[in-house]
Amino acid sequence: MRRPVARKLSVLAVSAAVVSVGAAAPPAAPPTPPGKVPVAAGWGGAVASVDPDASAAGIEVLRNGGNAVDAAVATAAALGVTEPYSAGIGGGGYFVYYDARSRTVHTVDGRETAPLTADSGLFLENGKPIPFAEAVSSGLAVGTPGTPATWRTALDKWGSKRLGALLKPAVRLARDGFTVDPTFRAQTAANETRFRHFPDTAELFLPDGKLPVVGSTFKNPDLARTYEELARKGVGALYRGDLAEDIADTVNKPPVDPASGWNARPGDLSEKDLAAYRVRLQAPSRTSYRGLDVYSMAPSSSGGTTVGEALNILERTDLSKASQARYLHRYIEASRIAFADRGRWVGDPAFEDVPTKELLSQRYADSRACLIKDDAVLTSPLAPGDPRRPAACGTGGTAVPTTYEGEDTTHLTVADKWGNVVAYTLTIEQTGGSGITVPGRGFLLNNELTDFSFAPADPAVHDPNLPGPGKRPRSSMSPTIVLDRHDRPVVALGSPGGSTIITTVLQTLTGFLDRGLPLVDAIAAPRASQRNAAQTELEPGLYDSALRAELEGIGHSFRLNPEIGAATGVQRLPGGKWLAAAETVRRGGGSAMVVRPAFQPEAMSPR
Ligand code: GLU
C-alpha cells in the first residue's frame, strides 16, 4: 500500500520541519520495498496487516529470532507511522495471545480510560447530549492511551526482545518516510476541514498546507523522536514526565486555531490519569463451536460475548449444508439477537455487573435461537433477553438501539515458528481520532470516549455504557483465536470497523469454519452486517446479487454499505507452516507475509 521510496523521491517532501530534520540527519538507504499480496504460506512465521511496510516490520523481527509478541509490537508501531489515522500510541486496543508452550490463551485489555473526574454527564451540556461531531474533535473525547502500556505488558510477559529493537523499523519508516497512497490521501482529505482547526495537526498531515500527493514521501520525524524516547526510557515516559505533561496540556487546552471558530471543548485528562493507567490482564472469552474453542476479548469489549453468543445460536444449524440464502438469513438473525443483548448487558465490568459467562452459555443461546424462523424476519430493535434467567424464546425489557462507533481501526495477526499466535486490534476510534496532535510529538490523540453512550437510550432502563471515572468505554473489537480439541491453533483473525467488527469476524469465521472457504476467500467474501437495526447493511457483492431479492422475499430489508471492515488472519497448516491472509480489495488490499514462503500455498482449505 505505502512503501519506503527511493531516495530521489524524498526531495518531494515539502514540510519545512521535515526538510530541516532530513538535512540534519540524512536518512539511511530505505529498505527494499515489500511487495503486497493478500495471501502467503510458508515457514518461520507469518504476519498479516493492512500495510506491507508494517507486515515487513513484523517479518524482520521474526527473521531475527523474535517471537510473535515481539513481531506484533513491531508491526503495531509501524502501523502507527503508516496508518496514523487508525492507530498509534495516542490510542488503545486489545491484544490476544496464544502461548504455544502452555497451549493457553491470554489477553491484555489496553482500552483507553475516562479521566478520574468523569461522570455520566461527560457528554451532556445543559442536560442535553453534545452533538456527536463536536464531541469527537474535542479534549472531552480523549481517553488515557493504553497502547504503550499494552506493548510493555505483552513484552514483559511473553516477549523476547527489547522495545528499542522492536521500534527500529517504525523509527526508520517515520524518519525516511513512506509513499503516500490513495487511501492515505483520501483519509486525509476526509479530515481536512477539522485537521485545519488544529494547526499542529495541519502542519503534520497537510504538509505545506496541502493534501499529501499520491506517490510523494511522507515523513514524521516528530514521531521518530517520540519512539526513540520510548526506546530509551521505556513506555513509562508516556505516562510520567514531559510527554505526559504535553498530553495532559493538549487535552486540557486543545491547541485550536482561534480563527477556525471551532469550539474545541477541553477535557479533564490529567497527569494523574496517565500515571494511574493500568492495562487489565483478564481471561479471554471462550465459546465452544463445533468441537473448537473460540477465544476472544471479554468485556470491556463486547466482541467476545457478541461473536460468541451468535456462534452459539448458529451452532444448532448445520451451516455447511444450508443454501447460501439460508446461511445468510441465519447469520443475520443471530447477529440481530446477539446485538440486542450486547446493548443491554455489556459495559466495563469494573463498573457494571456484566453477565459474561451467562451471555456465552449454550443454554441461553438456545433460548434465544428459538426466536429465529426460516420464513420470517425478526423486528428490530429487538428486545434483549435475560441471560441470568433464560426463558424459552425469551425477550424481556426494552430494546436498546446500537449506537454509532467509528469505522476505522486496524487489526494485525501474527504467528511464529514456535506456534505462538497474536491477534491484536488497535485504534484511535474515528479515522483521525480526535484530530488533535500532541504538538511536536507526531501522533494523534484518540476520541475513544465517544464510544460511551452520551445519554441512556431510555431513561427507565439502565445503560451499562455511560461514562464514569476511570471507566472504559464499551468496544466492539474482536481479536479472535480458534483452537482445536488439542488446544492447537486453527485460525486467528480480527478486523476494524466499529460495531461492524463483530459481524465481520462472525461472518469470516463461519465462512471459513462452516462454508469451506479458504481463509483469504472468507475474508474477501461480500459482507452483510445486522446490528439490531431495521435494515441490514450489504456490500455491493450481495446488494447487487439475486440473493438480495430472495432474502427480501422473506422480509429482510437492506441498505448498501460500500465497504465493511478490513480483516486479516493467520491459519496453521501442517508441518510447521502458516498461511497469512488479508483483504484482496478493501482499503486497497492488505498485506500477508511469511518468513520463508512455500512455492505453492497448499492446504488452504479450512480444516
Ligand atoms: N472504537 C471502536 C471500538 O472500540 C473501534 C473503531 C473502529 O473499528 O474503527 O469498538
Strand partners, 422: 97, 414
Q: What does the buried/exposed string (b/e) look like for 180-204 if buried means 16 or more CB atoms within 10 Å of the residue's CB? A: bbebbbebbeebeebbbbbbbbbbb
Residue position matching grid coordinates 431495521: 534
**Is 451 touching ligand 1 by the criterion CB < 6 Å?**
yes
Judged by average pLDDT, the poorest of 118-122, 178-182, 474-478 is 178-182
**Is 477 touching ligand 1 by the criterion CB < 6 Å?**
yes
CA–CA separation, 513 and 525 (whole Å):
14
Residue 407 binned pLDDT confidence (cut-offs 50, 70, 90) = low
459-470 per-position pLDDT tens digit? 888 999 999 999
CA 408 to ligand 1 center in whole angstroms: 6
**Pocket mutation for ligand 1, best pick of 302, 407, 425, 429 (most atoms within 8 Å of C-beta):** 429
Which of 82, 409, 508, 536 is labelled catalytic? 409
- Under 8 Å between Cβ of 241 and 275: no
pLDDT value, residue 404: 66
507-516 per-position pLDDT tens digit? 999 999 999 9
Burial of 559 (0-12, 13-18, 19+ CB in 10 A): exposed
Residue 404, C-alpha cell as written in the block:
454509532
pLDDT value, residue 402: 73
- Under 8 Å between Cβ of 419 and 181: no
Residue position matching grid coordinates 449506537: 403
Q: Over the chain, what is the mean pLDDT? A: 92
- Taking the CA of residue 473 as reference, the ligand 1 atom at the shortest distance is 4
Residue 506 binned pLDDT confidence (cut-offs 50, 70, 90) = very high
- Which protein residue has the closest C-alpha to ligand 1 atom 9? 408
The count of domains in the chain is 1
133 domain residue, yes or no: yes
264 domain residue, yes or no: no
CA–CA separation, 50 and 589 (whole Å):
7
CA–CA separation, 435 and 137 (whole Å):
6
Q: What is the mean pLDDT of residues 235-249?
A: 98
555 domain residue, yes or no: no
CA–CA separation, 50 and 448 (whole Å):
21
pLDDT value, residue 17: 28
**Is 110 touching ligand 1 by the criterion CB < 6 Å?**
no
**Is 409 touching ligand 1 by the criterion CB < 6 Å?**
yes
**Whole-angstrom distance between the N-terminal and C-terminal Cα of the chain?**
30
376 domain residue, yes or no: no
Residue 409 binned pLDDT confidence (cut-offs 50, 70, 90) = confident
Helix (H) or strand (E) holding 581: strand 578-582
CATH number at residue 460: 3.60.20.40
Handedness of CA 110, 299, 461, 430 (dihedral sign): positive
- Which protein residue has the closest C-alpha to ligand 1 atom 5? 498
CA–CA separation, 193 and 191 (whole Å):
6
CA 102 to ligand 1 center in whole angstroms: 31
276 domain residue, yes or no: yes
- Taking the CA of residue 497 as reference, the ligand 1 atom at the shortest distance is 8
- Under 8 Å between Cβ of 196 and 257: yes
Q: Could you tell me the pTM of the whole model? A: 0.93
Strand partners, 410: 426
- Under 8 Å between Cβ of 394 and 504: no
151 domain residue, yes or no: yes
**Is 358 touching ligand 1 by the criterion CB < 6 Å?**
no
**Is 565 touching ligand 1 by the criterion CB < 6 Å?**
no
**Is 408 touching ligand 1 by the criterion CB < 6 Å?**
yes
pLDDT value, residue 399: 81
Domain hosting 413: range is 39-258+269-280+408-500+513-525+566-597
10 Å Cβ neighbour count for 391?
A: 12
**Is 407 touching ligand 1 by the criterion CB < 6 Å?**
yes
Strands 104-110 and 92-99, bridge-based pairing = antiparallel
542-558 per-position pLDDT tens digit? 999 999 999 999 999 99
Residue 68 has pLDDT above 80, yes or no: yes
Annotation marks residue 153 as catalytic? no
Residue 393 binned pLDDT confidence (cut-offs 50, 70, 90) = confident
pLDDT value, residue 600: 53
**Is 437 touching ligand 1 by the criterion CB < 6 Å?**
no
- Which protein residue has the closest C-alpha to ligand 1 atom 3? 475
- Which protein residue has the closest C-alpha to ligand 1 atom 6? 498
Three-state DSSP state, 558: strand
**Pocket mutation for ligand 1, best pick of 191, 501, 529, 531 (most atoms within 8 Å of C-beta):** 501
Residue 543, C-alpha cell as written in the block:
446488494
pLDDT value, residue 307: 98
Strands 558-560 and 536-538, bridge-based pairing = parallel
Residue 459, C-alpha cell as written in the block:
431513561
- Taking the CA of residue 501 as reference, the ligand 1 atom at the shortest distance is 8
**Pocket mutation for ligand 1, best pick of 451, 500, 502 (most atoms within 8 Å of C-beta):** 451
347-389 per-position pLDDT tens digit? 999 999 999 999 999 999 999 999 999 999 999 999 999 999 9
299 domain residue, yes or no: no
Residue position matching grid coordinates 424481556: 396
**Is 287 touching ligand 1 by the criterion CB < 6 Å?**
no
331 domain residue, yes or no: no
